[in-house]
């Protein structure tokens, strides 16, 4: 546990010392703030559904930028071998990178809570869907970061890692649209692979535990494969 804590602090420091985190966060908040204010001024509706969907899309595009370095950079600069030969387990390394990146992403999301406070100040928003929406975003971020780390662990080229991540996310996003072409039970698998299919009900305040389970199990699967892949080296 202590090893994990030390590794986490090291990874978080590395992220905070890098300009990438600040750039991505600033762009994220700029686009989001612009959309939020214009949507609010136009519709005058006190809910965050539109913004939560915007965050969903933006995180699909930006999380790969945050995760692409994690293993690919270490492999390129040959520090990964050093790390793997140190007296720390592969699981600790993966979990530390995962927790540090997730902390940054959740920090970005947390900044958007200001929008909810603004709505509360000037209106009476329904808080249920907002809570459920942030839960959905946290689970979504968890999955994106886990898959991003897995992709980064497969290559030493950061751009390839980011491209693989974005490709995977986009495929998962639209997985259900091909279901009608597939025979059973593959059509059901395609529908249940869909990211948006599990995300959308939660944002509207309708929480199915199976949707939560999808994000949790998929994140665990990605982390397992990343760890197992590293262990094979």
145: left (phi over 0), alpha (psi -120 to 50) or beta: alpha
State the nearest-atom distance from the C-beta of 194 to other proteins, in Å: 9
Using the rule CB under 8 A, is 50 a contact of other proteins? no
Using the rule CB under 8 A, is 33 a contact of other proteins? yes
Using the rule CB under 8 A, is 27 a contact of other proteins? yes
Number of Cβ atoms within 10 Å of the Cβ of 60: 19
Looking at the Cβ atoms of 23 and 79, the one nearer to other proteins is: 23
Using the rule CB under 8 A, is 125 a contact of other proteins? yes
Residues between 74 and 93 with contacts to other proteins, criterion CB under 8 A: 90-91
Using the rule CB under 8 A, is 213 a contact of other proteins? yes
Using the rule CB under 8 A, is 99 a contact of other proteins? no
Cα–Cα nearest to 56, from 169, 161, 165, 151: 169
State the nearest-atom distance from the C-beta of 163 to other proteins, in Å: 21
CA distance 143 to 150: 11
Looking at the Cβ atoms of 170 and 186, the one nearer to other proteins is: 186
Which residue among 129, 142, 146, 168 contacts other proteins (CB under 8 A)? 129
67 and 18 Cβ atoms separated by less than 8 Å: no
Using the rule CB under 8 A, is 3 a contact of other proteins? no
State the nearest-atom distance from the C-beta of 210 to other proteins, in Å: 4
CA distance 177 to 196: 11
Using the rule CB under 8 A, is 220 a contact of other proteins? yes
CA distance 90 to 130: 37
CA distance 229 to 35: 40
Using the rule CB under 8 A, is 13 a contact of other proteins? no
DSSP-based three-state secondary structure for 194: coil
- Binding segment (CB under 8 A) for other proteins, from list 17-25, 59-67, 76-84, 154-162: 17-25
Using the rule CB under 8 A, is 218 a contact of other proteins? yes
Number of residues that bind other proteins (CB under 8 A): 74
Q: Enter the tokens of residue 175.
A: 């997985």
Residues between 138 and 197 with contacts to other proteins, criterion CB under 8 A: 176, 179-180, 184-185, 187-189, 191-192, 197
Cα–Cα nearest to 92, from 227, 228, 229: 227
133: left (phi over 0), alpha (psi -120 to 50) or beta: alpha
């Amino acid at each position: 546990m202590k090893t994990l804590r030390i590794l986490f602090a090291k990874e978080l420091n590395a992220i905070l010392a890098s300009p990438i985190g600040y750039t991505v966060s600033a762009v994220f908040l700029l686009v989001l703030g612009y959309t939020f204010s214009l949507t609010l001024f136009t519709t005058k509706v006190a809910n965050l559904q539109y913004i939560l969907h915007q965050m969903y899309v933006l995180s699909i595009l930006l999380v790969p930028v945050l995760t692409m370095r994690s293993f690919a950079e270490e492999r390129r600069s040959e520090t990964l071998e050093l790390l793997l030969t140190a007296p720390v387990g592969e699981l600790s390394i993966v979990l530390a990178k995962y927790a540090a990146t997730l902390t940054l992403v959740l920090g970005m999301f947390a900044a958007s809570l200001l929008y909810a406070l603004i709505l509360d100040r000037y209106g009476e928003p329904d808080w249920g869907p907002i809570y459920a929406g942030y839960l959905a975003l946290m689970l979504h971020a968890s999955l994106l970061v886990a898959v991003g780390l897995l992709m980064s662990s497969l290559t030493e080229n950061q751009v390839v890692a980011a491209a693989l991540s974005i490709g995977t996310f986009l495929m998962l996003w639209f997985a259900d649209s091909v279901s009608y072409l597939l025979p059973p039970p593959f059509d059901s698998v395609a529908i249940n692979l869909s990211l948006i299919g599990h995300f959308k009900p939660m944002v509207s305040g309708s929480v199915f535990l199976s949707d939560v389970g999808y994000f949790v199990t998929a994140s665990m699967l990605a982390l397992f494969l990343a760890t197992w892949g590293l262990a094979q080296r």
